[in-house]
Amino acid sequence: MEAQCLFAGFGGQGVLLMGRLLAQAAMDKGFQVSWMPSYGPEMRGGEANCAVVISDDPIGSPLISEATVAVIMNKPSLVKFMPKM
């Protein structure tokens, strides 16, 4: 089993926190996990996203090729990440 999860939105919406909480919960259950955040230099309002990969087996790459789960919090992020869904 491998789940590729994508969280995206504006900074301050809790996008990175959602990803971290999911990653921590999966680690607590014994899964292999990678969490890769990405954000701009702005304090709030800039673009923020993170990729979480959860697997039974070791994870070869933290990059997401096609998201099995996506939480998109705004339209610009939807437009940007639509090809990965």
Q: How does residue 85 score in pLDDT terms, banded at 50, 70 and 90?
A: confident
The pTM (predicted TM-score) of the whole model is: 0.89
> Could you give the number of structural domains in the chain?
1
Return the pLDDT at 40: 84
The number of beta carbons lying within 10 Å of the beta carbon of residue 71 is 19
**Range(s) of the domain holding residue 12:** 2-84
Provide the residue type at 66 as one letter.
E
pLDDT digits (tens, 9 = 90+) for 12-60: 899 999 999 999 999 999 999 999 999 888 777 789 999 999 999 999 9
DSSP 63: -
Three-state DSSP at 32 gives strand
Dihedral angle, C-alpha 74, 44, 34, 4, nearest 10 °: 0
Q: What is the CATH number of the domain that holds 60?
A: 3.40.920.10
- Which contiguous run of DSSP H or E holds residue 72? strand 69-72
